A and B are shown apart, each in its own frame.
Chain A
């Protein structure tokens, strides 16, 4: 059985009641891991509260941060500060320079782009080539597909179709998330996969983008963040005093 993951659940962090409802709804929809973006200065007890809410609903919880730097320099500065503290690092690219820097940096897990302003979507062949080498994933949120109507949705679907084609050509890992800030915006993994068929994503491929790919990303980062990790394929098995 597949282990479904929603890496982008974005409820307001202060609203614990809404978080609880969203986590419970995600559990009902058969997700087993959720990623919640947290501000940089989130207190430890807030994180623990979130973790316990998820644990009550039998859900795994991944700490995520969404960075929106204005310059590549700011991005590097932010990555230095936050990489060791979060399991998933996503960068919202609002300029081409930031997009290129984020795509080639191995510390960035997910690249995301504006859904409303298509001029700010920089996921082209060059970006995909860099992302493929650095193992950065391309994240697609489902919520804008639900919220937008008319021509805006038509343009978004058309752009996503092109970007998904580029991503598969360069083997960039695709990750489908909900991007939901309200319980009403949550959809089951199979419904998300059906919506992904709008931009010509094969059903099996979209189910992987909702399960295996994000799950592997979180596992890889957890391994890297553990104190036993030294380098790729090198980790401490036993310490001398044990």
Chain B
């Protein structure tokens, strides 16, 4: 039997209020259900791996074949708990280790960019 491959997505939640794990997952599932229905959502294999409410970073896992579906659903989110919010996919990777490494580099680059802009 062919092994099903997974993909890990690093997310950045941009919004006015801080949210918790269940609110995040509710929002993700609602978006997925709205766009692709129950059949599509059942094929995504969406699971929360890590969440830091302090800075709004999260890692979710899904099946490799459903990356575009999950990504589109995440991009379609415009509010969390009736407050305006957006979720950006920072990186996608096949392993958690590589994802953490890539995301760390990406975050450092963003901060460096922000510092340059402020100067």
Contacts and interface: CB of A to CB of B under 8 A. Distances in A.
Interface in B62-84: 68-69, 71-72, 74-76, 78, 84
B100 interface: no
A146 B68 contact: no
Interface string A117-161: 000000000000000000000000000011101000000000000
A29 interface: yes
A214 to B, nearest CB: 19
Given A28-B113, A191-B74, A194-B75, A184 B68 contact: no
B22 interface: no
Interface string A190-202: 1110110110000
Contacts of B34: 149
Nearest to B36: A198
A187 interface: yes
A24 interface: yes
B78 A195 contact: no
B110 interface: yes
Nearest to A27: B113
A76 interface: no
Contacts, number: 47
Interface in A66-125: none
A146 B78 contact: yes
B35 interface: yes
A149 B72 CA distance: 15
B113 A191 contact: no
Main secondary structure of the interface of B (DSSP, over half): helix
Interface in B99-117: 110, 113, 117
Contacts of A191: 71-72, 74-75, 88-89
B26 to A, nearest CB: 17
Nearest to B73: A194
A149 to B, nearest CB: 8
A192 B76 CA distance: 10
Given A28-B110, A188-B88, A194 B117 contact: no
A195 B75 contact: yes
A56 interface: yes
A197 B75 contact: no
Contacts of B110: 28
A29 B86 CA distance: 13
Contact of A198 (B35, B74, B78, B86): B35
14 contacts: A28-B113, A184-B86, A186-B86, A188-B89, A190-B89, A191-B74, A191-B75, A191-B88, A194-B68, A194-B72, A194-B75, A195-B75, A197-B69, A198-B35
Interface of A: 24, 27-29, 56-57, 145-147, 149, 184-188, 190-192, 194-195, 197-198, 203
Interface of B: 14, 34-35, 68-69, 71-72, 74-76, 78, 84-86, 88-89, 110, 113, 117
The 7 closest A-B pairs by CB, nearest first: A194-B71, A191-B75, A194-B72, A187-B75, A197-B68, A194-B68, A195-B72
